[in-house]
């Protein structure tokens, strides 16, 4: 079979086919159409030469189709859409799907740069995944917060505190008005802060904060580890009365995440997904895998909450378009996307929506702008923006909660700060970005 047989710009994909969108820059001397054909071949039934074992029946049934090639943002670049027969994939097996459409193709000599921009999963594949157990509505119900953005913090410093110190910081944050407190991505079970002891002490102070504030509080403990150990840690959190666990979804891998989502059927806990390591895949606009793609895969597998950044409001790399892309379905995926319905909130054949987590360099003064850009269905997480306060974490948390309340009510932060000391102190320290 000639490799150019994979390119058919008159082809119309069926409702059941998986569509992958790629940005590509062919290697020197390779035509764009040829590079697209080679990607389609390598990601499915093809190899580098003609083979005697390729029957016309296999080729006809399983050959993918490059049905769209459009100009990219470079002189020789392009954006290609490839339609794949669903029988090429083991439905419900995310590692296998990505081994196909995001596997060997990244090592091909025919492409200088390649980025998987998006995957459009057909209903017959979607239905084989469990999706979130709770999603937006379920998390809001657990926390008894109907409409306003949820607010939280990450215990800082990331590592270094012992178990008692960690639990006390969490308690002070809850007492200041925050809904959730989480471990950071690199805190697991350290020589100076053992997992089991930290969980028991922190959840004990969570209970105390709930009684004293009359509000529901949540602790997101990081279970990231080898798979059997993750199960044990999740069991222990449940035993201590916890309702959440957190996973670094990329470093544990898609199979680790799927295992924990399946295991959660017996635990009924909320899964908070941290995207640590994503920048290695997403940051280069010309090569890798987009955060949109990672977010869709995580949602199908079944995380309830997912970090997507702060739309350039905070410290992490990323533009509003790049990160809002995750919240919006792209009609014609390019580097200046057209926003449509919410990707993480839209109806997905019984797959519940995911709660967006905004985190990375936030402070109280950014709150109004953040909510204007990202909406109210978010968890706004402030790390240093809470713990900076010279009188302690509680007062930094109070300033954040005041900012959340003001932004929810549509009151300018500067106006609200006139009668709310902690918000005023935060604004005096950090300002209010325009």
CATH number at residue 32: 3.30.70.150
Strands 355-359 and 378-381: parallel
Do 190 and 91 share a structural domain?
no
Do 139 and 119 share a structural domain?
no
Joined together, the tokens standing for residue 44 give: 């499915």
Do 178 and 110 share a structural domain?
no
Total structural domains in the chain? 2
Do 197 and 114 share a structural domain?
no
Q: What are the residues facing 299 on neighbouring strands?
A: none
At 301-350, the pLDDT tens digits run 999 999 987 664 544 445 445 444 544 433 333 322 323 335 677 778 78
Rounded to an integer, the average pLDDT of 236-259 is: 98
Query: Residues of the chain with pLDDT > 70: what percent?
Result: 91
Do 251 and 387 share a structural domain?
yes
DSSP type of residue 350 = T
At 32-59, the pLDDT tens digits run 999 999 999 999 988 777 878 878 888 7
Rounded to an integer, the average pLDDT of 363-390 is: 94
Q: What are the residues facing 65 on neighbouring strands?
A: 83
What are the backbone dihedrals phi and psi of residue 212, each rounded to the nearest 5 degrees, phi first? -80, -30
Nearest to 354 by CA among 367, 364, 344: 344
Do 405 and 259 share a structural domain?
yes
Q: Does the pLDDT of residue 146 top 70, yes or no?
A: yes
**Of the residues 126, 148, 171, the one at which a domain ends:** 126
**Per-residue confidence (pLDDT) for residue 106, from 0 to 100:** 97
d(CA 429, CA 432): 10
d(CA 210, CA 157): 24
Burial class (CB in 10 A: 0-12, 13-18, 19+), 237: buried
Rounded to an integer, the average pLDDT of 273-294 is: 94
**Per-residue confidence (pLDDT) for residue 350, from 0 to 100:** 86
d(CA 412, CA 41): 56
Catalytic residue positions, numbered: 156, 274
Is the pTM higher than 0.75? The answer reads yes
Rounded to an integer, the average pLDDT of 255-275 is: 98
**Of the residues 97, 126, 155, the one at which a domain ends:** 126
Do 141 and 122 share a structural domain?
no
Do 345 and 227 share a structural domain?
yes
Residues of the domain holding 233:
135-430
At 350-360, the pLDDT tens digits run 899 999 999 88
**Of the residues 93, 126, 159, the one at which a domain ends:** 126
| SS3 of 91-139 | CCCHHHHHHHHCCHHHHCCCEEEEEEEEEECCHHHHCCCCCCCCHHHHH
Do 156 and 24 share a structural domain?
no
Which has the higher per-residue pLDDT, 360 or 80?
A: 80
At 148-189, the pLDDT tens digits run 999 999 999 999 999 999 999 999 999 999 999 999 999 999
**Quick one: which H or E segment has residue 245?**
strand 244-248
Map tokens 């150019």 to a residue.
Answer: 4
Do 22 and 49 share a structural domain?
yes
For residue 416, the domain's CATH number is 3.20.20.110
Do 230 and 147 share a structural domain?
yes
Do 217 and 68 share a structural domain?
no
């Amino acid at each position: 079979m000639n490799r150019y047989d994979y390119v058919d710009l008159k082809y119309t994909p069926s409702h059941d086919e998986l569509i992958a969108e790629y940005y590509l820059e062919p290697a020197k001397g390779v035509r764009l159409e040829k590079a697209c054909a080679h990607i389609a071949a390598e990601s499915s039934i093809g190899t580098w030469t003609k083979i005697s074992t390729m029957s016309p029946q296999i080729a006809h049934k399983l050959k993918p189709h490059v049905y769209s090639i459009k100009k990219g943002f470079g002189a020789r670049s392009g954006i290609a859409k490839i339609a794949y027969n669903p029988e090429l994939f083991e439905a419900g097996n995310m590692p296998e799907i990505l081994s196909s459409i995001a596997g060997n193709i990244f090592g091909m000599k025919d492409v200088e740069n390649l980025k998987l921009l998006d995957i459009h999963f057909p209903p017959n594949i979607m239905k084989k995944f469990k999706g979130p157990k709770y999603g937006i509505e379920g998390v809001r119900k657990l926390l008894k917060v109907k409409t306003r953005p949820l607010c939280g913090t990450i215990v800082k410093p990331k590592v270094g505190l012992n178990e008692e110190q960690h639990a006390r910081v969490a308690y002070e944050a809850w007492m200041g008005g925050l809904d959730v407190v989480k471990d950071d991505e690199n805190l697991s079970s350290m020589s100076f802060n053992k997992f089991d002891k930290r969980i028991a002490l922190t959840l004990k102070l969570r209970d105390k904060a709930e009684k004293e504030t009359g509000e529901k509080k949540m602790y997101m403990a990081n279970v990231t580890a080898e798979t059997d150990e993750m199960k044990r840690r999740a069991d222990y959190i449940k035993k201590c009365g916890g309702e959440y666990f957190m996973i670094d979804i990329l470093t544990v891998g898609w199979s680790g995440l799927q295992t924990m989502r399946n295991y959660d059927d017996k635990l009924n806990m909320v899964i908070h997904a941290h995207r640590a390591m994503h920048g290695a895949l997403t940051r280069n606009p010309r090569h890798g895998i987009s955060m949109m793609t990672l977010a869709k895969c995580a949602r199908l597998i079944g995380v309830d909450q997912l970090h997507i950044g702060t739309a350039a409001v905070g410290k992490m790399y990323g533009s509003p378009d790049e990160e809002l892309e995750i919240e919006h379905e792209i009609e014609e995926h390019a580097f200046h996307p057209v926003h449509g319905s919410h990707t993480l909130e839209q109806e997905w054949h019984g797959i519940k929506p995911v709660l967006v987590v905004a985190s990375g360099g936030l402070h109280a003064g950014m709150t109004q702008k953040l909510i204007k850009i990202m909406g109210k269905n978010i968890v706004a997480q402030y790390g240093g923006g809470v713990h900076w306060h010279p009188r302690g974490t509680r007062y930094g948390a109070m300033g954040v909660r005041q900012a959340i309340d003001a932004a929810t009510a549509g009151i300018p932060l500067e106006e609200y700060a006139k009668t709310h000391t902690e918000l005023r102190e935060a604004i005096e320290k950090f300002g209010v970005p325009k």
